[in-house]
Amino acid sequence: MPHSTLEAAPTSHLDLSWVRSQFPSLSLEVNGRHAAFLDGPGGTQVPQRVIDAISEYLRTSNANTAGAYATSRRTDQMIADARAAMADFVGCNSEEIIFGPNMTSLTYAISRAIGRELGPGDEIVLTHLDHDANISPWRALEERGVKVQIADIHEEHCTLDMDDLARKITPRTRVVAAGYASNAVGTINDVKTIVRLAHEAGAMAFIDAVHYAPHGPIDVRDLDCDFLACSTYKFFGPHMGVLCGKREHLARLHPYKLRANTNAVPQRWEWGTLNHECITGINACVEYLAELGRRSYGDVQRVGHRETVADVGTGALARPAERSSAPDPNLPGNVGGSPGRRQAICSAYRAIRAHERGLMHRMLSGLAEIPGLRLYGIADPARIDFRCPTFAVRIPGHTPLAVATKLGDQGIFTWDGNYYALNLTERLGVEPDGGFLRIGFVHYNTEEEVDRVLEGLRRVAS
Ligand SMILES: Cc1ncc(COP(=O)(O)O)c(C=O)c1O
């Protein structure tokens, strides 16, 4: 959980020109101006190595799995490598990683399997801050007589009402499903406490980390969550979903699956033929992050710098990292595959977070000066560690669609509407008026892009 304040934000170690050189689409132009991709929450751009890995797979290894010939064996190896990469990314074992078309489908797979064991008298706790992909798959179990409770928010800064959540978790609760961060207003939730509250009541905890994944490091062992889902297209990879589940659950629960499907964990949760070329792209995207970490903090490898999620995590960044002269074999990383990769990923997020902090400060102070503009979510710069650089705004007299269109014509890509955070737009009463305008930054965005969007908003408001 974020806990420190940001009086002394550390200097970013992010080499922004190297970062931007990795993403070929960032050079796109619209109406003579370079495109500002502020649509990361809807999906990020991909580095060249992801594009290369996908085409290389199709050129040299394209086959179905488990065949007795070269390209099929290569495909099996490639999937195993990608599982190891994702295991390093979230801090679990390879066999706890499941691939699927997207987070929504994987969440339905888990909710259906859990639902087979539930009925009247059982309850599920959700939140008003969540994307509908972490609402509807659970609400579907209402047809089995399961009761759904929804934890409320503090409207003034769009943070989760933890007291309300705690009240709603009772001995009848079987699952608590919550987001790591809101894809609409950017709030980062105290997921570790949410998991603890769920476990104290004997319930399972399902965490939707889709929006958090491009912004902060994930450590499922530290969180102790039972399931965590994310989508690689939100953190610089291809359009795929990934689910991490505790092995005991993946082995015990009964997924709906084909007779011919293996019962092995985790493959019993993966049905039909997967998108192999995109899976190879996942490996490349994790490697991109690892290289970013190594370049940002070059001493990670040389001196065995103990870079862990605790050092990097949102809020903990200002703490000086501990150093030792030898790599620590007990580090929570490298559980999946390549030595040092998890540490390097954590280092990448340290650099990403520092850079994004700078963007957030600039954006918050600029937004505060635009007459009439309303920001939904945390506005206090001292509480920046509790948010991602995702900003939901409205300007009186202009629909979010009209503002997004004006910005789009200037090459500034934003979103309007509810982005499926339907519970939140309904709760805040903005759904009938077009939702919010969402401006989302990731680590490849620049201060110049912050200034451009602020100028665009100023012109609309004045
Ligand atoms: C927070 C959050 N959860 C879940 C989803 C659904 O992800 P997917 O498109 O992979 O099903 C999204 C997509 O925008 C999201 O932002």
Cis, peptide link before residue 389, omega less than 30° from 0? no
What pLDDT does 8 receive?
37
Nearest-atom index, ligand 1, CA of 240? 10
Say what the pLDDT of residue 271 is: 92
Nearest Cα residue to 123 out of 194, 195, 198 = 198
CA of 177 to the centre of ligand 1 (A): 14
For tokens 């005991």, the residue is 248
Say if CB 176 and CB 182 are below 8 A apart: no
**Predicted local distance difference test score (pLDDT) of residue 297:** 84
Output the DSSP codes for 112-133.
Answer: HHHHTT--TT-EEEEETTS-GG
CB of 102 within 6 A of ligand 1: the answer is: yes
DSSP designation for 33 = E
Does residue 182 line the site of ligand 1, with CB under 6 A?
no
Q: Is the pTM of this model over 0.75?
A: yes
Our answer on whether the CB atom of 208 is closer than 6 Å to any ligand 1 atom is yes
How far, in Å, from the CA of 128 to the mean position of ligand 1? Answer: 15
Q: For residue range 240-281, what is the model confidence (pLDDT) as tens digits?
A: 999 999 999 999 999 999 999 999 999 999 999 999 999 999
pLDDT of residue 354: 96
Give all strands (DSSP E) within 260-418, no chain letters.
374-376, 390-394, 412-413, 415-417
Tokens 């991709």 found at:
37
DSSP-based three-state secondary structure for 10:
coil
Nearest-atom number in ligand 1 for the CA of 208 is: 3
Query: Exposed/middle/buried for 258, CB within 10 Å: 0-12, 13-18, 19+?
Result: exposed
- Torsional class of 360: left (φ above 0), alpha (ψ -120 to 50), beta (otherwise): alpha
Whether the predicted pLDDT of 148 surpasses 60: yes
Alpha-carbon dihedral of residues 79, 85, 88, 94, nearest 10 degrees?
10
Residues 6+ apart with CB under 8 A from 147: 122, 123, 124, 172
**Which of 106, 131, 189, 240 best tests ligand 1's pocket when mutated (most atoms within 8 Å of CB)?**
131
Alpha carbons 91 and 309: distance in angstroms, whole number: 9
Cα(284)–Cα(164) distance, rounded to whole angstroms? 41
Tell me if 104 CB under 6 Å of ligand 1.
Answer: yes
Distance, in Å, from the CA atom of 404 to the CA atom of 413, rounded to the nearest integer, reads 7
Burial class (CB in 10 A: 0-12, 13-18, 19+), 177: buried
Answer whether 179 contacts ligand 1 (Cβ < 6 A).
yes
pLDDT digits 0-9 by tens, 333-351 = 455 667 799 999 999 999 9
According to DSSP, the residues that pair with 244 across neighbouring strands are: 97, 228
